[in-house]
Amino acid sequence: MNKSKKKKFIDFLMREARELTTFNFLVSYSLTTRDTLLQQQDDYRKGVAYTAYPVANYYKLEKDVLNNIIELPAMVASQYMAFFALEVSLTSYNYSGFIFTYVKGSRSKKDGKYVANLYLEVYQDKEMVGTLTIKGNSDTAKLIEEYMTLFEKQLAPARERINKIQLKLLAKVVKLIKKHLI
């Protein structure tokens, strides 16, 4: 490969590697697990940054990589559950999803059973786009329950597997970059 071709090839590999450093996560957490989850995310982010060090160096992003600290929404409540699709690149992050807690409800007219209501905050692109209060026995509450099960049992584990493949691809591209940079 001549010099000009080699430079183009490295540029191309760098672009590909940079794209591969953007990871998607499906995260769910509660009041008690949020800190652990944030720590896990931070470790993963650092791992990716370490693997992709030649990329950060090539684009002079080291400072931005260091400043990319992930924060996720919390609620002032004794208990809450949060479900977010989180996207983390070398230098930024974004999330969309919802967080909810149980609030004072009412007795069912049918059987007189007490049902708590759900208070939800909905986020899109890191911004809170709405709040809702839903009756605990409504169709929407059932829909949320179904989505939560799907999220935890299927979507999140599948996402973890995909991320493992992506990390391998990234390592492969970085290996090629190192090889051709010499």
Partner 1 sequence: MKRWQVILDLVCDVAQYLNEDISEQTTNKKGKNKQEVEVEEEEQDTADLDDVREVIRQHELLKKDSNNEVKRMNDFINNLLGSDSDDE
Binding site for partner 1 (CB under 8 A): 1, 12-13, 16, 19-20, 24, 26, 85, 87, 96-98, 120, 122, 124, 129-130, 132-135, 138-140, 143-144, 147, 155, 159, 162, 165-166, 169, 172-173, 176, 179-180
How far is CA 5 from each of CA 11, 12, 73, 113, rounded to the nearest angstrom? Answer: 10, 10, 47, 73
Yes or no: say if 81 and 30 are a contact pair by the CB < 8 Å rule: yes
Least Å distance, CB 151 to partner 1, is 9
Nearer to partner 1, 6 or 63 (CB): 6
Signed CA dihedral, 131, 135, 139, 142: sign only: positive
Least Å distance, CB 19 to partner 1, is 7
Describe the crossing of helices 3-20 and 156-181 by its angle, rounded to 10 degrees: 160
For residue 160, report the phi and psi dihedrals to the nearest 5 degrees.
-60, -40
Nearer to partner 1, 46 or 172 (CB): 172
Least Å distance, CB 40 to partner 1, is 19
Instruction: HSE, CB side, 13 Å, CA atoms: give it for residue 127.
Output: 2
Give the other-Cβ count within 10 Å of 56's Cβ. Answer: 21
Least Å distance, CB 63 to partner 1, is 27
Yes or no: say if 50 and 66 are a contact pair by the CB < 8 Å rule: no
Nearer to partner 1, 49 or 121 (CB): 121
Least Å distance, CB 38 to partner 1, is 19
Least Å distance, CB 26 to partner 1, is 7
Nearer to partner 1, 21 or 91 (CB): 21
Nearer to partner 1, 60 or 109 (CB): 109
- C-alpha–C-alpha distance, residues 142 and 159, integer Å: 24
